Copies of this chain bind each other. A is one copy, B any other.
Amino acid sequence: MIEAWKQVLTLSKLRSGQVVTILSGADTHPQTLAAALIAVQSFGAIVNRLDLQPINGEKAHSRDALSYLGTTPLTGNRAAIAALKASDLVLDLMTLLFSAEQHEILKAGVKILLAVEPPEVLARLVPTADDRKRVLAASEKLGRAKLMHITSAAGTDFYCPLGEFGPISEYGFADEPGRWDHWPSGFTLTFPNDGQAYGRIVLDRGDILLPQKDYVREPIEMTIEGGYARRIEGGVDAELLRDYMAAFNDPEAFAISHIGWGLQPRARWSTLGLFNREATIGMDARAFEGNFLFSLGPNNEGGGNRSTTCHIDIPLRGCTVELDGEAVVRDGKVLDRVAHA
């Protein structure tokens, strides 16, 4: 793990004398924390550990940190924010995703790298410079597109007008001031124009629901109108999803959030079935090469103003993703493979 951290920190351009602040909480993996402390110090950098107290998430039904997006331990915490803004690099080992405070810190030019998967997953999915090149190339293409159209043999036929929000790339390290990234990752994403996505999404058997972290056992059909999933139909799996979402009691939970596709060849679709449900947050599922990843919930991360505490990520297999009529993924295969032997 120390070697893995060193590679990530090198790619993140850590220099001697810089200040790194590690955010930790009750669930931070001790091996990840210990390795990070040693690795940062081996660069001659100054390291702080800022341990935040948990805040109450009374309404959270899942313990998955990516599934519930509300107030964070940073809310109103001037001292913690000041520390983070005065750092060169923040290693977030406790998941501060999507908060206003995070945006403020990034605007101060701080790099943030989230890393909360278990050590085994982190070690297998250490990012590379090639990951960055491939994700940036895809991101650029996505940034130029006006329409994303997704189809699948299972029945998906989903249209996302684009242009309102820019593309976002995640390749696993934070090499530029103000950049947020997530180790492990490897995908590009954007948000459909607000209220404009429409069509049908069919989750086929074997597709994945996060935070349920299980494979769908029977098809779930979503009808999207005006940017929201208006109907979620199917069998027991559809009912479970509806019951889960109903607990948030928030119509914004049904909005289409980010959309994009996976580009990480070392991540795999089948990995989810090998771990305890709560042992991972599912980055293999989000990043495996060729999946179409869409989500329900907020778009404030992308620059919109919709926020909701409910956030569901859904990677689909076997889709064709077209940008302005040109396929970038066909039947679950990324079409840039030639260049990436």
Interface residues of A (CB under 8 A from B): 2, 17, 19-21, 24, 37-38, 41, 46-53, 56-64, 76-87, 120, 123-124, 205-206, 211-212, 214-215, 217, 235-236, 239-241, 243-244, 247, 268-271, 273-279
Contact = CB atoms under 8 A, between A and B. Distances in A.
A52 B41 CA distance: 12
Contacts of A268: 61, 243-244, 247
B52 A48 contact: yes
**A interface, over-half SS:** mixed
Contact of A275 (B124, B244, B269, B278): B278
B51 A49 contact: yes
Nearest to A211: B274
6 contacts: A19-B80, A46-B76, A49-B52, A62-B275, A63-B274, A83-B83
B19 A78 contact: yes
Nearest to A21: B79
A211 B271 CA distance: 11
Given A244-B274, A276-B277, 6 more contacts: A19-B80, A50-B51, A56-B123, A80-B83, A81-B86, A247-B270
B206 A239 contact: yes
Given A46-B77, A206-B236, A274 B61 contact: yes
Contacts of A24: 51
A333 to B, nearest CB: 14
Contact of A48 (B20, B50, B86): B50
A206 B51 CA distance: 40
A288 to B, nearest CB: 9
